[in-house]
A and B are shown apart, each in its own frame.
Chain A
Amino acid sequence: MSSLALLLQGLRHYGRIHLAVALGVAAGTAVLTGALLVGDSVRGSLRDLTLERLGAVDEVVLSGGFFRQELAGELAASEEFRRHFGDALPVILLRASLLNPQLTATEGPAGASKARGFSGRVNVLGCDERFWKGAAHAPKKIPGSDEVVLNEALGKELGVEVAQDVSLRLPAAQSVPSETTFGEKTENKANAILVTGKEGRTEPSPAAAGVVARLLRPTLADYGVEIVKTERGYLQVISQALVFSPALEEAVLAALKEDGAQGALAYLANYIAAGKNGEAKIPYSIVAAVDFSSQPPLGPWRDIDGKELSPLAGEREIVLNQWAFDDLNRQLAAAEQKLAIGDEISLTYFLPEHPGGRAVETTTTFRLAAVVPLDEGSPARDADFTPTVKGVTDQRSIRNWKAPFPYHQERVRDEDDDYWTQYRATPKAFVSLRTGQELFGSKRFGRLTSIRLPGEGRTADEIAGKLGPRLEPEKLGFRILAVKRDGLAAAAGTTPFGGLFVAFSSFIIIAAVTLVGLLFRLAVESRAGEVGLLLATGFSRRKVRRLLAAEGFVVAVIGGAIGVAAGAGYAWLMLYGLRTWWVDAVATPFLHFHSTWLSFVVGGLCGILISQAAVWSTLWFMRKLPVRRLLAGQATPDSPLTAGRPRISRIVAAASFVAAIGLAVVALWQHGQAQAGAFFGSGVLVLVAGLAAVWGQLRVGATGRVATPGALPLVRLAVRNAARHSGRSTLTIGLIASAVFLIVALSAFRIEPVGDAREIELAERLAQLRERRASDAEIGIVSARLNEQRELLKSGGTGGFSLVAETGLPVFRDLNDRTVLAEAGLQTADIERLKGGTIYSFRTLPGEDASCRNLYQTRRPRILGVPKDLIDRGGFAFASSAAADEAQRKNPWLLLNASAGETKGGKPYVPVVMDMNTAMYSLHLYTVGSTLDIEDDEGNKVPLRLVGMLANSTLQGDVLMSEENFLRQFPQVIGYRFSLVETPPERTAAELRTIQHSLEAGLVNFGFDAERSADRLREFLSVQNTYLTTFQSLGALGLLLGTFGLATVQLRNVLERRSELALLRAAGFRRRRLAGLVMLEGTCLLVGGVGVGVAAALVAVVPHLVLGTAAIPWLDLAWQLTVIVVFGFVASLWAVRATLHAPLIAALRGD
C-alpha cells in the first residue's frame, strides 16, 4: 500500500465525478487555447494575405519622378543584389480611376446596381512580361497595348467581364508640380522598380535589409537633373522639374560650392508696369533673380553707360534691359511722362503657391536701379536663364502659349511678339536672388530654376561625374520600401486578437473555472468521511490536501489535454463566426485556421493552472473543518442557519444601492461613452446590492415558516433548502446574475449612428409644405426643427457633412468655385443644387488606414491637412481635448492652430486630432497630450502631439493637422484628395443622391468617389457593435456552461440530503413531489440569478433607451435569455434524476 496506490484507487473509484471535473477543465482550457489560436489565425491569415498580395515582390523603389528603365537593370546587375534578390523590374505605378462606360452611362457612377461601374482610387501598374513570369495568377495572355488586367474585386466593382471595355483615367505624367505656375505634362519611362525575392513568395531574408539602398545608383538623368553648356559658355545645372526641390538645391550647391556655382530663379511677370498710374505695361515678361557676378562668363554686369553693376543692395531694386526701358518710355511719352533711374517699376505676377487651387495675382513695386544693354556681350542677353517649359518656351509666338495658368492672349502686343522672336525668353528685368526668392520662390516647391557655374576648362560630363556620387537617392525623391518585410511585420495586427478573444471568452473561462471548483468541491465533499478518517489515523492535513490535490492535478492534466484538442475546435468555431456572423468586426471574410505550438502549450498550461487554483481554493476552504465534522460526512462549516444575523451584507446592500442612485444621477450630466460607463457602473452597484441582499436573506433562512397553512409550502421549503448553503447558492445566483447583467447591459454600448435620415425627412416635409403653400407658422415650426437637427448632426459623428469623398488624383482647384465645377463638366443645374453648400478639401499625405477596418498594424497613418475654414466652422463630437480656454472648449479644432509645446530637442510638436478609436486601438495613444513621431518623405521625424480625440466620427483612420502645419511639414504634397461635403440645407433624399452623382460624374477625371457620411459612420460603428455582439454571444455561451454549475450545486444539495430526502419519501412524499421540490430549488437559483441580473442591467440600459442613444437588440437578447433559462431547467433535471433514482433504504441507513 502506498500513497500512489491510494491516489490511483481514488481516481478509479470516483471516476465519474472526476470525469465531470476533467470536462470542466477541458472546457476552460479549450476556450483559452482556442482564443490564442484565433490570435494565431488572424496573424497567420494576415501574413498569407500579405504574401499573396505581394507575390514575389520583396521591395519597391519609388520615385517622385520618372527615371530610365535601365536603372532597374543596373541595380539587378550587381552580384550582391543577385545574392539576395531575384530581379528588379522597372514599372510605372500610378493612381488612376476606372470606369465601366456602359454602366456609368446608364446609371451614373453611384448607380443602384451592386456594381458601381466606377472606382476612383485604383493603383495601376504598367509592366512588361517579366512581371507575369512566375506569378501565381498570371493571365493566359499578356495584355497588349490597349488591354488591361483587373483583379477580381475591381472587376466586380466595375461590373465588367473579360473582353469588355473599361475606361482608364490616368493622371498627366508630371515632372512639374501642378500647383506651380509652369506645371505641365512631360513624358518619362518608369517611376518604380519592383524588387522580387530570390525564392518568390517567401519571407525575405534579414540579410537583404538595406541592400537595395546601398546598391541603387541613379544617374543625374534619373534625378531629372541635366548639366548643359550654354551658348555663353557657362555650365548650367537644370532640373526637369523646372524648379529645384529644396533638397536638390541644397545637394547641388553643396557639391559644386568650390566651382563657383550660383543659383538663378526665372519667373513670369504678367506685367512690368511704369508711370504714375501704371500707364506703361509690358505683358508676360521673364524676370530673373540673379547674383550680379563680376566674373565672366556670368558677368561682369554693366549698365548702358558701361558702369559695372554691384549686387543690388536694396530689397526692392530692379534692373531693366534696354528693350523694356525703351518700350516703357515709348508708352509713357504718350502720357507725357518719362522713365528714369530711381523711378518706380511695378511687377504683377502670380503668387508661387496657389492655396485652395486658385491662382492669386499680386503686384510689387521696385525702384529702378539700372538699365542693362542687350548687346551680344551683355550677360543680360541670355535666354538660358529661363528653363524650357513645354508649350511655352518652345512656341514661336507668345500668342501661342499653352499656359497652365490663367493666360490672356489679348494682352500680347506685336512688340512683345517681336521681342520673343528676336530674344526668345531673355529676361526683361532682373532682381537680386534674395529678393527674387523671397517673392517668387516657394519653400515647398523650390527657389531656383537653374544653378550656373563658369564653364571654362570644364565639361558638363566632368561636373556630372563630380555631382552624381554626392547625391543621395533617398533624400532626392527615391523611396525604398521593404514592402514585404514591413507587411509581414504589420501582419502582427493592430488588435491582439488572442487577448481580445480571451477577454471575449472570459465569461466562459470564469464559468468553466467555477464549474471546476464546484465539481471538485462536490467530489471532495462527498469524501468528507474519508478525509476525516485519514486525519484521525494520523495523516497530516497537508498530506491529505496533497493527496486530494494530486488527484485534482491528474484530473486537470487529463482535462487540459482534452481541452487543448478541443481548443482547435473552439478556434475553428470562432473563425467561422468571424467569417460569417461577426464578419463586420474584421471587414472581410479572409480568416483561416493557423496554429502555433506556443498557443497549445500556453493554453493547456493556463487551463491546468487555473483549474488547479480552483482545486486549491476548495481545499483551502476545508483546511479548518473539524475532523469530527468530516467524520460525520459534513464538509461544510457550521450551519449558516445558526450563525449571527448578517449585518454586513445588509450594510453592503444598502450602501451599494445608495451609491448606484448617486452614480445614476451623476450620469445624467455626462455624455457619450462616459455616460454609458456611469450608467453601467450604476448597474454594477445594483448587481452588488442585489447579491448582498440575496446573500443576507439566505443567511437568515430566506422564508418564514414552512409548515404554516397557506400557499406554496413546497416553494417555501425549496427556498429554505436553497438557503441552507447560502454561500453556494449566492455564488450560483451571482454567476448567473453577472452573466445576464453583462449580456444585457453591454447592449447600452451599442451605438446607432445619428444619421441624416431625420434631417432628410424634415427637409422633405418642408418641401411638401411649401408645395401646398402651408401657413408660415407651420413652415416655421418644421424649419426650426430642421435647423435643430442640422445643429445636432454638426456636433455628431458626421460633423453635419452629408458626403465624404476621396479622389484618386489630387485636385488643385477650389471646388466651391462655380467656374471650376463648370469647367470640370458639371451641369448648371447640378451646380445650382450645390448652392448654399460647402466642400471642404483636405490635403492628404498618403498612408495606411488606421481605422478599425484595417487589421494590419499601422506604421504610417494617413495624414489630412484640415483647411482653415473647417477649423473655424468646428463640428464633430470630441471625446476629449486639451482645450485651455472657452473658445477652444467651444471649438476644440482651434487647438490645431495653437502651440503644442516642444520636444526636448526644441522641435515644436505639431498638434493633431484623431478619432478616439484610431488613437487608442491603432496607434495606442490613450490620452490627450500623448505624442507620436512620424516620418516625412525625406525620413525626418515629425513630432506630433494629440490635442483632441473625436468620438465615433467619420474621420476615423486619419491623423488630422491644420493645413498650415501640413504644408510646413509636407511641402512636397500637392493638391487635395479628401473632401467633406456640406450639402445645402433643405435637401431631400433624391437631391442628395443627385448631388453625389453629379459630383462623381463631373469630377470623374479626378476619381472623385463620394460616400454618404452616415453609411461610412455606420460601417465604422458596426465593427464596434460586432465586437459587443461577439462578447455577448460568448458570454451567453459561458452562461450556458454556468447552468451546469447550477446543476452541480443542486446535485450537491441532493447528495448531501439524500437521507433527508429518503426520510421524506418514507414519510409519504411521492418521488414526483420530491423531484418537484428539487426542481423548485434549482428554479429559485435560476430565477433569482436572472432576476437580479436583469434588474441591474435595466438600470444600465433604460436611461439610454429613454435618451435614444442605444440600439438594443431586444430580440437577440430575449432569445439568448430564453435559451439560458431553458438550458438551466434542463440541467436541473440532472439533479432531479439523481433524486428519483436514490435508493431509499441505503439512503436511510446512511450508506
Chain B
Amino acid sequence: MPDLVVRDLTKTFPSRSDPVEVLRGVSLSLSAGENLAVLGPSGSGKSTLLYIIGTLDEPTAGTVELFGENPFALSEPELARFRNERIGFVFQDHHLLPQCTVLENVLLPTIARGASSPAHDVRARKLLDRVGLGHRLDHRPAEISGGERQRAAIARALVLSPRLLLTDEPTGNLDRASADAVGALLLDLQRQENLMLLVVTHSQPLAGRMSRRLELSEGKLIPAL
C-alpha cells in the first residue's frame, strides 16, 4: 500500500467572474523511497497540488491519504503535529528567519512542540555538514549565498526526519551550478533517508533526475514526456 494516495483531487478558486478550477480529478500515489517530479507551466496548479498534499491547503473535492490517514480529518493541532513529524517542505524562497542563525533556522521545526533536544542539535549539525554548511552554523541568512540558503532550507526540512519531502521549485532562484548541486543533494538525501520525494518544478534538468515524472496540464496529471 503506497504511503501517499491522492484520488480525484479537485481544487476550485473563486474569482470575480466564474470560479477557476485549477485541479480536475488528479490522482497519484507514492511509496517510501520513491521520488516524483510534477512538471507544468506557471499557473498550471503544481504548487496548489503540492500544498494540498502537504496539508497546507484543502481540496475542493477528492481525497488525500497519507500514511493510511486522511489528514484533513484531523483537528488543527493534530494536523500541525502530523505535518511537523511527517512532512518536510522546501520552497523556492528559502524563508529563513533573518533573526536566527543558520543552525537555529534548521532547528526551528524542533521547537514547534517544545524546546529542541541535544539529539536534535546533533542531527541539525550533521545535516548541515551533509549539505556543506558545517562551517556556517552561526551565520545569519543575510551572510550566506542564495545556494547556501536553499541548502540550509533543505536541512531544516529534514531535521525531524520526515517521511515525505515536498519541494516547490527548489532551484527556481538558483544559478545552474547551484541548482544542480541542490538537485543532487535532494536525491542523495532522499535515498539516504528513504523518503518519499515530490518535486514540483518546471525545471527539466531537475525533473530529469527523478525516477517518475508527471505533467499537470489543464488541471489533470498526465505522464510527462
Please give the residue numbers on chain A whose beta carbons come within 8 Å of chain B beta carbons, in ascending order: 1-6, 9-10, 12-14, 529-530, 532-543, 626-628, 631, 642-644, 1150
Contact = CB atoms under 8 A, between A and B. Distances in A.
A532 B77 contact: no
A540 B56 contact: no
Contact of B109 (A537, A541, A626): A537
A643 B15 CA distance: 8
Contacts of B89: 536-537
B107 interface: yes
A536 B100 contact: no
Given A1-B111, A540-B81, A541-B80, A628 B100 contact: no
B72 interface: no
A5 B54 CA distance: 27
A631 B107 CA distance: 19
A2 B115 contact: yes
B115 A1 contact: yes
A529 B115 contact: no
Given A537-B156, A628-B57, A13 B98 contact: yes
Contacts of A1: 104, 107-108, 110-111, 115-116, 120-121
B85 interface: yes
Contacts of B57: 626-628
Interface centre among B82, B89, B114, B120 (most CB of A within 10 A): B89
A533 B95 contact: yes
B18 interface: no
Q: Which 7 A-B pairs have the closest CB atoms?
A: A538-B84, A13-B99, A540-B80, A2-B115, A1-B107, A537-B109, A627-B56
Interface in B82-108: 82-85, 87, 89, 91, 93, 95, 97-100, 104, 107-108
Nearest to B52: A628
Nearest to A639: B16
B16 A3 contact: no
Nearest to A9: B99
B100 A538 contact: no
Interface in B53-92: 54, 56-57, 76-77, 80-85, 87, 89, 91
Contact of A6 (B76, B91, B100): B100
A537 B97 contact: no
Contacts of A534: 108, 112
Contacts of B82: 538
B97 A538 contact: no
B29 to A, nearest CB: 23
Given A3-B114, A540-B80, 7 more contacts: A2-B111, A6-B100, A9-B99, A10-B99, A536-B83, A540-B77, A540-B112
A345 to B, nearest CB: 109
A13 B101 CA distance: 12
B121 to A, nearest CB: 8
Nearest to B109: A537
Contacts of B95: 529-530, 532-533, 631
10 contacts: A1-B107, A5-B104, A535-B56, A536-B56, A537-B109, A539-B112, A540-B77, A543-B113, A627-B57, A628-B56
Nearest to A15: B99
Interface in B1-54: 15-16, 47, 51, 54
A624 to B, nearest CB: 11
A644 B99 contact: no
Nearest to B77: A540
Contact of A535 (B47, B80, B160): B80
A631 B94 CA distance: 10
A543 B76 CA distance: 11
Contact of A9 (B76, B100, B160): B100
Contact of B116 (A2, A529, A536): A2
A538 B93 contact: no
B39 to A, nearest CB: 20
Interface string B107-141: 11111111110001100000000000000000000
Nearest to A643: B16
B57 to A, nearest CB: 6
A2 B107 CA distance: 9
Contacts of B85: 538
Contact of A631 (B91, B104, B121): B91
Contacts of B16: 642-644
B111 A3 contact: yes
A541 B55 CA distance: 14
A537 B87 CA distance: 8
B76 to A, nearest CB: 6
A631 B51 CA distance: 11
B45 to A, nearest CB: 12
A546 B113 CA distance: 12
Contacts of A537: 83-84, 89, 108-109, 112, 156
A538 B112 contact: yes
Contact of B112 (A543, A628, A643): A543
Interface string B165-184: 00000000000000000000
B51 to A, nearest CB: 5
Contacts of B91: 536, 631
A5 B107 CA distance: 12
Nearest to A14: B99
Contacts of B156: 537
Contacts of A10: 99
Contacts of A12: 99
Contacts of B116: 1-2
Contacts of B83: 536-538
Given A1-B104, A535-B56, A627-B56, A541 B76 contact: yes
